Structure 1
């Protein structure tokens, strides 16, 4: 078991930009893509992931300091620190049960695909950490390996079914043919957010407002283009943070650059995915099967859409404001603020880029997420012990991505119920 764990962790430590191309290459060969074409596709996807990660780092390095400055400027006093998904992932991978979960989850996904329970093949192995986290939490609460494995599988099944449910939205709005998002945080947010966004479309007056990236550009011309929208949002964040002129302008230009660069990185990644998608369709056609297979990818791809990025960035100061006034909340949002665009990806797609509807929906779901993250904090903190250095002044740790995740929270409650009977 220890040797299996070492192999799994060695592969995971390569990072998504190396691990994903290797897995893509294997999948391409299974779908009978020529070796040379499969290798080029895998390498292209690797380059695309490098580009996406660079742009995400640019986004994080600008939103993070702005959020921290806003916290100090407005005097927020909350004792549970949102350490963000990277720390939550590190805590999940650090549990003794994590090593065996990856091969189990891969096999389960393939079996579910073969028997027709799902149409999604989740090839984004790095984001299996969401399922591993669900299993790790269940193990911490119950100390039962079998129950922990079951909870990780249940979480995966939810993600695959939600990915199937939202596949037409992802493909129709983002233009990703044959792609869907089984990313745990995005799926949990969408599970709550899509019904809420639908209710908003039934409210008189509000249902007449349809602000999209396209309508903004149509109304404001060149000043409505993504680079200008990102620059303006960056300018507002800088002013709210109380930055000086120089730092405010740097934040503005950097977020404008994110809006320009992210779609180009996503386009590069999609170039690599096309041969695999075509190979899957050709193989099914030759076999006489009428089935459809979706390739499950990281919801980070959705940030190539200006509406998704804009919605997420607008929600940053709104999230901090909600955290400050929400009764019962003790979580200080920080680490996951830059990843809010991922969370709203399915809502934005379902509402076809309606930014107003998506922002209101996002604010409502984040309200619930903060309360869930507060409730999740004791177990989340226990999972993080030894994985990261606790921030100064933090009595407990949580995250919007894991602690504020509806699926994780439901499974936590189930684990706590079961632990009383074990």
Structure 2
């Protein structure tokens, strides 16, 4: 059994999401009744779209990462907890004892919840099961028990499906991506935080009237408010902050202009890649609908995908770029902070993208929610760094030089990780039982009053939207 699981995990690691996802999509589409040729074309199109998304994201995140590192260098700050980035966190998660079991566990949880009609989401985003394994590996590091870690991973898989169902209607309408949901735990966890902060903002006179969305900017400033030009402007500003002392005048100008053009390109190209993705998903969505209709009437089946499909919206990119220097400032001024951000500053878009439907694309509010989330995240990271480091050492991860402990924004900054570890460390088995009961209660409450929950997530009175041009 262990040999089979090791082989399965190795296949996921080797193939990567852009190869594994089309294979999974093809198999599922055929099972759902799509013709083999149609399913094959859809799967290849989806794979091509994700390759395109990853290429553009790689370009954008690489540029943001370079600027962020330049800004960090300019500040001259030093901390003993080093941000090693999500690729390292994923390697640690899949390399842990929990990572060996997470794929069959997450699939089993998904199947059980589908059969019991507790979820509408079929999570095909197998690569991102590492998020469940990561929290499970922290639980194992905290308790010394693999059993605890496996149960926590299963609970996180269920929680991801709950968030996916809860936010699906708002995501579909705002982002123009019908038939999908986002069970990506690192992105979905911000939803209850955003609901609370938005409720507070609505009750602050003056502040509650500020609406700085990419649409209002475009209306007010014309061509200078268009997403591609907005990306250029934000890129030029970030580039100037990061590279003002990068060398002679010509070098500085070159780096600043390159940053501006890269972010302008991301603003234009990411929505186009999402359109290609939706072209591939349409036959799968239709097959799923027909499959369910024949067996369960009008019940809806959603395809759970990576939150990368959300990053292309101008509001997500704009708010994220603004949050990069804010995050660096927070790392300097927050009392007691020992974390220096480095590799994961570029993934802030994934942290805030799911707030856009709820906040109607209001960049001002998205920045506020992101700032509060990151500020709290620093303290979460400080608290979890010892366990993060312990899990890394156990998985054979090579520690970077001069780092006493390590962390990452994904998933080391997440409130869910902290709450889970507190439950497990403080209450043991009772904590696991309580978490299971709380998640089950949330499923029950969601199904009892679905419309109210979805309105809370931003689905009410949301105009039909298409992916931003």
**TM-score higher than 0.5 here?**
yes
Residues 186, 410 of structure 2: 8 Å contact kept: yes
User: What is residue 372 of structure 2 aligned with on the other side?
Assistant: 364
CA shift digits 1:316-342 (9 cap, x unpaired)? 001111111011211112222111111
Deviation of 1:161 after TM superposition, in Å, equals: 0.9
Deviation of 1:23 after TM superposition, in Å, equals: 0.6
Q: How does 1:247-396 map to 2 (within 5 A)?
A: 247-385=255-393, 387-396=396-405
User: What is residue 414 of structure 1 aligned with on the other side?
Assistant: 423
User: What is residue 6 of structure 2 aligned with on the other side?
Assistant: 6
TM-score (norm. length: structure 1) = 0.96
Residues 266, 312 of structure 2: 8 Å contact kept: no
1:194 lines up with 2:195 in the alignment:
yes
Residues 79, 340 of structure 2: 8 Å contact kept: yes
Structure 1 distance, partners of 2:400, 2:145, is: 30
Structure 1 portions without partners, runs of 5+: none
User: What is residue 88 of structure 2 aligned with on the other side?
Assistant: 87
Structure 1 distance, partners of 2:15, 2:381, is: 30
1:123 lines up with 2:131 in the alignment:
no
- RMSD of equivalent CA atoms: 1.7
CA shift digits 1:239-263 (9 cap, x unpaired)? 1113411111111111111111111
Structure 2 distance, partners of 1:197, 1:59, is: 28
Deviation of 1:418 after TM superposition, in Å, equals: 4.6
Residues 102, 129 of structure 2: 8 Å contact kept: no
User: What is residue 221 of structure 1 aligned with on the other side?
Assistant: 222
TM-score (norm. length: structure 2) = 0.87
CA shift digits 1:62-117 (9 cap, x unpaired)? 11111111111122222211111111000011112312221121011011011011
Residues 4, 100 of structure 1: 8 Å contact kept: no
SS at match of 1:336: helix
Number of residue pairs matched? 422
Structure 1 distance, partners of 2:413, 2:347, is: 13
SS at match of 1:76: coil
Structure 2 distance, partners of 1:107, 1:288, is: 21
Q: Which moved more, 1:50-59 or 1:382-391?
A: 382-391
SS at match of 1:402: helix
Structure 2 portions without partners, runs of 5+: 247-251, 432-469
Deviation of 1:173 after TM superposition, in Å, equals: 0.5
CA shift digits 1:363-421 (9 cap, x unpaired)? 01111011101111001111222644333322110011111111111112222225699
Q: Mark the CA change 1:255 to 1:366 in structure 2 (over 3 Å): closer, same or farther.
A: same
Structure 2 distance, partners of 1:115, 1:391, is: 46
Q: Which moved more, 1:273-282 or 1:283-292?
A: 283-292
Structure 1 distance, partners of 2:430, 2:285, is: 47
User: What is residue 110 of structure 2 aligned with on the other side?
Assistant: 109
Residues 213, 353 of structure 1: 8 Å contact kept: yes
Task: Show structure 1 runs of 4+ deviating over 4 A.
Answer: 418-422
Residues 102, 130 of structure 2: 8 Å contact kept: no
Select 2:407's aligned residue among 381, 390, 398. Answer: 398
Q: Mark the CA change 1:213 to 1:125 in structure 2 (over 3 Å): closer, same or farther.
A: same
